[in-house]
């Protein structure tokens, strides 16, 4: 095996965002672009030499070509073994599972998560550390710094590696193990959930479920577990075949992009339980018949009911949520007498808390929920958790949530996304909003009095690291909130996200329509931030 040293020059745009490096496919297809980033990983993650690397992705366009490049570079850098999902397929939580189970020195996950796929859409790559989680900022900063000083990269002179047949092979001295992408993950789920009770639920004639895999990576996982192992009828999993362009659809499990599932669930004779997952399998949407469960409520409900599930029967030690996520989980933590942490957006911020044993369940309002079983959010895990609850409690999704509201109160909550806003105009909006913060505390806005206005900063309680500028918060007396932040997951323009929350303890006022209940706060948000002035938008692109 010959090793080529290829001369290169740095790219200035390879700083990883919230979860890895994401760009349009055409950017990654530039000569040396992917190779430069991978070289920076090998330059900084020296334990990979002589170690084991997990490799796979969500099957989107350019996935297979990228895997070939990475395998050749891994061989050139002395990696002893690479574990690859069959056909290059690995969901993000399944990759984390493999890293942890086989105690590898890390993994490279190829995905742009919920972003669109195809030759004119998006691609992404991120390094996960040996704990199975996304690299923390310290590591991503080291990788970025290395990209800025590259003059060459190393790659083996091999044309093609077979990743379409299970088994092991050699690339020089490096072993390549092509594995069933579902097997180890499914075994982990069996250890956490009561498969017998869920199987019995599917065997009960009245119960029906629909799972939308959105032509993304979760299709094979959902088919194996829901249909083959739990006995759900064939066809329970819709759009199950992973496609490089996700069938031309946006693989984001929300009420807009999972329209077909929502329509099915809203019918008079619709299924009892509906769920969807995203491009790489780490997000989830939960639906009852004609009933949407917000991700914030989902986290709170799972935390309050964890004792019903075998893997969490001994109790949970703590809960962590991203700052924009509603405060519903905080009330559950207080009731249980456990810690609750508020972190910046990005699953990497949960890693230290999980590794230190301070939390068991984590969640983000952006349809991400997970636990200490892996170090990624996990869409199918959340679906199985809900299935287990349905099998134990013998109630509908709607009744479970409304019972939760009666006990803890309801947090009316919405997120408004203004997508593909001019980046400079979006930055101007945020900067001017930050400039206004010192004068807002104590001020009356509409019928609400501001109790705190700040730009959220987080000090990690485990390692003491500080992350600043994580989103503007305007908190009101009584528990209502406005949060503004720019998303770090898109590749075109900027996405301004507005989060609006109002706490309602009175059960007699739990049946209000969400947007109507929050309308006064939404109006305050538009006025205080000058959304129309800075973005030119009258209304958001997506409401969840």
Give catalytic residues, as residue numbers. 113
Residue 475: alpha-carbon gap to chain centroid: 26
Rounded Cα distance between 286 and 493, Å, is 29
How many helices (DSSP H) and strands (DSSP E) are in the chain?
Answer: 17, 27
Residue 156: alpha-carbon gap to chain centroid: 33
Q: Which three-class secondary structure state does DSSP give residue 169?
A: strand
CA nearest 535: which of 421, 430, 417? 421
Please, what is the angle between helix 137-147 and helix 33-44, to 10°? 120
Task: Tokens 């006022």: give the residue.
Answer: 509
- Burial track 388-416 (b if 16+ CB lie within 10 A, e otherwise): bbbbbeeeebbebbbebbeebbbbbbbbb
213, 275 in Cβ contact below 8 A?
Answer: no
Task: Tokens 């088994």: give the residue.
Answer: 167
Task: Tokens 């996950």: give the residue.
Answer: 109
524, 482 in Cβ contact below 8 A?
Answer: yes
The neighbouring-strand residues paired with 485 are: 497
Q: Quote the tokens at residue 12.
A: 């200035």
Burial class (CB in 10 A: 0-12, 13-18, 19+), 196: exposed
CA nearest 299: which of 368, 384, 390? 368
49, 82 in Cβ contact below 8 A?
Answer: no
Rounded Cα distance between 294 and 325, Å, is 10
Count Cβ atoms below 10 Å from residue 57 Cβ, excluding itself.
29
């Amino acid at each position: 095996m010959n090793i080529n040293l290829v001369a290169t020059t740095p790219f200035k745009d390879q700083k990883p965002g919230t979860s890895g490096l994401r760009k349009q496919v055409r950017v990654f297809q530039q000569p040396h672009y992917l190779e430069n980033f991978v070289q920076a990983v090998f330059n900084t993650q020296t334990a990979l030499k002589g170690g084991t690397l997990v490799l796979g992705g969500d099957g989107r366009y350019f996935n297979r070509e990228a895997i070939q490049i990475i395998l050749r570079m891994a061989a050139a850098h002395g990696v002893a073994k690479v574990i690859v999902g069959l056909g290059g397929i690995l969901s993000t939580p399944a990759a984390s599972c493999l890293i942890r189970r086989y105690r590898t020195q890390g993994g490279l996950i190829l995905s742009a998560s919920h972003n669109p796929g195809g030759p004119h859409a998006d691609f992404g790559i991120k390094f996960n550390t040996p704990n199975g989680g996304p690299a923390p900022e310290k590591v991503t900063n080291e990788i970025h710094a290395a990209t800025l000083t590259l003059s060459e990269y190393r790659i083996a002179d091999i044309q093609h590696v077979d990743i379409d047949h299970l088994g092991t092979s050699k690339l020089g001295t490096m072993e390549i193990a092509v594995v069933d992408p579902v097997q180890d993950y499914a075994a982990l789920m069996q250890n956490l959930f009561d498969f017998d009770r869920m199987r019995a639920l599917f065997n009960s004639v009245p119960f029906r479920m629909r799972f939308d895999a959105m032509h993304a990576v979760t299709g094979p996982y959902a088919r194996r577990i829901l249909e083959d192992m739990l006995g759900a009828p064939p066809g329970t999993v819709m759009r199950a075949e992973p496609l490089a362009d996700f069938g031309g659809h946006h693989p984001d499990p929300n009420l807009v992009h999972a329209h077909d599932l929502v329509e099915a669930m809203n019918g008079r004779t619709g299924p009892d339980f509906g769920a969807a997952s995203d491009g790489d399998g780490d997000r989830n949407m939960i639906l009852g018949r004609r009933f949407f469960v917000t991700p914030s409520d989902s986290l709170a409900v799972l935390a309050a009911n964890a004792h019903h599930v075998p893997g969490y029967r001994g109790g949970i030690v703590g809960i962590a949520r991203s700052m924009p996520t509603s405060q519903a989980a905080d009330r559950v933590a207080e009731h249980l007498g456990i810690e609750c942490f508020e972190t910046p957006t990005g699953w990497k911020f949960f890693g230290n808390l999980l590794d230190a044993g301070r939390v068991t369940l984590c969640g983000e309002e952006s349809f991400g929920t997970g636990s200490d079983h892996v170090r990624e959010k996990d869409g199918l895990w959340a679906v199985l958790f809900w299935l287990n609850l349905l099998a134990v409690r013998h109630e509908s999704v709607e009744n479970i949530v409304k019972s939760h509201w009666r006990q803890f109160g309801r947090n009316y909550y919405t997120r408004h996304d203004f997508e593909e806003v001019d980046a400079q105009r979006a930055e101007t909006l945020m900067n001017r909003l930050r400039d206004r913060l010192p004068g807002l505390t104590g001020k009356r806005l509409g019928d609400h009095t501001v109790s705190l206005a700040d730009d959220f900063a987080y000090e990690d309680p485990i390692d003491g690291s500080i992350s600043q500028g994580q989103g503007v918060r305007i908190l009101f007396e009584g528990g209502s909130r406005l949060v503004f932040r720019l998303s770090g997951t898109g590749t075109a323009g900027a996405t301004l996200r507005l989060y609006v929350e109002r706490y309602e303890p009175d059960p007699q006022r739990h049946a209000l329509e969400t947007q109507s209940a929050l309308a006064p706060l939404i109006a305050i948000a538009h006025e205080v931030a000058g959304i129309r002035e800075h973005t030119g938008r009258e209304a958001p692109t997506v409401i969840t």
